[in-house]
Structure 1
Amino acid sequence: MNLQNVLDKKFPPLEHALTPRDSMLYALGIGFGDQPDDLGHLQFTYEDGLKAFPAMVNVISHPGGWVKEPGLEIDWVKLLHGEQSFRMHQPLEVDKTYVGTFQVTKVIDKGPGKGAMLYQEKQLREKESGVLVSTVTSTYVLRGDGGCGGTTSEAPQPHPIPERAPDSECSLATLPQSALLYRLSGDYNPIHADPALARKAGFERPILHGLCTLGIATRAVLQTFCNNDPARLKSLALRFSSPVYPGETIVTEFWQDGPVVSFRARVRERDVVVLNNGRAEIA
């Protein structure tokens, strides 16, 4: 990684006109519609009274695969998506245009052979009014870029999961075609579709997008604590710990302490934790 070039990189503002089709396709990609007579599902999948699902702020106005730019010298093949968070300042709405501004906020160098952590932030604003709708952060684990320098040595501490037994849990199944559906929301990385490339990357078959797993966990939070009302979700943050294979069942475990919900998720079939250190704030 060329640290100075990464820090100097300028990201142009990116517009996204959020159409009803975009919104419905995203909702189907994270599994809504498996209960077609449930009004909690229809509000995200049917044009009459359509609402945008809040976790969609993670995928609109995104700069795409910028880490592949040659001048940045990032070993992008060894990149992992480590963490993700979003905070809702205003509801996301269909038939509005949004503008995303993106920046690298800091880099932590763990040393030669130990990798680096790259932190990013996106501010999503409604174009017409300029009102801030959401702040989205991402952390990339750059396994091949240790020893290239950093801007700080202080890494944020992960949200702790309570040591007591979970207060509740929510099970949501994924479909065998979930990754093929979800990629239509903008992430066309072939490891989510091409079996040969997935095996080359070290997976037995194509994996589900991490942000799709995040969307499913957000579904579980809304269903369990918000009566499927998206306006009640104020923020959500988590760490990715292991991939999900399409067709597996994601079981999200919850601990509630007032307006704060801690959570982690595992796949039932392999008993593997796939999301950890989750924190959601509920109105």
Structure 2
Amino acid sequence: MPIDLAAAMAAPPTTKTISWTTRDVLLYHLSLGAGRGADPQLRWTYEQELQVLPTFALVAGQGPSAGELAPTALRLTGCDIDLRRILHAGQAVTVHRPLPAIGEATITTRIADLWDKGKAAVIVLEHSAVDPAGELLWTTRMQIWARGEGGFGGEAGPTEDAALPAREPDLVVERATWPDQALLYRLNGDLNPLHADPAFARAAGFEAPILHGLCSYGILAGAVVEELLDGDAARLAALEVRFAGTLTPGETLRLRMWREADRLQLLATCVERDDAPVLTHAGALILS
């Protein structure tokens, strides 16, 4: 059905209560590649020394229940879109304090913006999480690109500058993915068959299932913490990206980082495809 702009923007926020355990955090870190090398990286892989990457906020409480079926559509008030027509276009997270390894939160979700790009629509979902004491834990903004859903009469939305510093990066690192990584990462809760089913992926225009954008996002967060923040996850306060291209499991991310005081500019590209962009318009706020 076509997007109903008035209904979507007038829809009241929804709320739900989630919880997570140390096991969920460990699964998330392992699905990003923690502990796969000679270094066991116990800060990410062992409950006795466990930190929590801020990007865990995007999957907290989302793990699938036994027997749960994958959804086939994105359904929001005013929007009902086949999953084969959508892509995760951008993501931002701000953590207001370090995330606990075991916790509970109430999530409030609203459509913050709805942009008409002509041939596509961009739906911006905002999620805020508060703990049982009413303290704000995190805020996220998710951009969903819906192909063929434009033309509903909305504003085009902002145009953001993707220019990077006119100098060499302060740091360049690479992170390899592996062929079945998407099958592990999807156990964090995103069961979209685009990441598992070859026939579904082909119907959506891809040669093979693709890696979750949020997996690349988490890999970037882990690299920032490990390489620039002395392994201290609490120092990464915010991270935003645009998903500019897909990554096939087994390909390698090349991560470029520029630091200016408490802010980073970042770029992630695919090594095997001549540095084709994967994550752009990327920036982070770091704490000293």
| TM-score, normalised relative to structure 1 | 0.90
Residue matched to 1:249: 252
CA offset at residue 202 of structure 1?
1.4
**Which residue number in structure 2 is paired with residue 46 of structure 1?**
46
Closer/same/farther in 2, CA of residues 77 and 37 from structure 1, 3 Å limit: closer
Residue 72 of structure 1 and its aligned partner are, at CA, apart by 2.7
Q: How does 1:177-188 map to 2 (within 5 A)?
A: 177-188=180-191
SS of equivalent to 2:93: strand
8 A contact 1:68–1:76 mirrored in 2: no
Alignment of 1:136-147 (within 5 A): 136-147=140-151
Q: Once the two structures are aligned, what percentage of the paired residues are identical?
A: 37
Gaps of 5+ in 1: none
For 1:161, the aligned partner's letter is L
Structure 1 match to 2:278: 274
Match of 2:137 among 129, 133, 139: 133
Q: For 2:120, which of 107, 115, 118 is the aligned residue?
A: 115
Moved over 4 A (4+): none
Contact 2:24-2:60 at 8 Å conserved across structures: no
Letter of the structure 2 residue corresponding to residue 49 of structure 1? E
Partner-residue secondary structure (3-state), 1:124: strand
The CA distance in 1 between the partners of 2:21 and 2:30, in whole Å, is 14
How do 1:15-30 and structure 2 match up within 5 A? 15-30=17-32
Using a 3 Å threshold, how does the CA distance of structure 1 residues 42 and 65 change in structure 2: closer, same or farther?
farther
Q: Counterpart in 2 of 1:80?
A: 87
- State the SS of the aligned residue for 1:48: helix
Name the SS for the 2:17 alignment partner. Answer: strand
Distance 1:55 1:274, change over 3 A: same
Aligned partner of residue 284 in structure 2, secondary structure: strand
Q: Does 1:104 align with 2:104?
A: no
Alignment of 1:158-173 (within 5 A): 158=161, 160-173=163-176
Q: Distance in 2 between matches of 1:42 and 1:36?
A: 12
- The answer as to whether partners of 2:43 and 2:50 remain within 8 angstroms in 1 is yes
Could you list the runs of 5+ residues in structure 2 that have no partner in the other structure?
63-70
Specify whether residues 247 and 153 from structure 1 end up closer, same or farther in structure 2 by C-alpha distance, changes over 3 A only: closer
Shift of 1:67: 2.4
Q: Cα distance, 1:65 vs. partner? A: 7.5
Q: Give the whole-Å Cα distance in 2 for the aligned partners of 1:72 and 1:143.
A: 13
- Give the superposition deviation at 1:74: 3.6
Q: Considering only aligned residues, what root-mean-square deviation do their CA atoms show, in Å?
A: 2.2
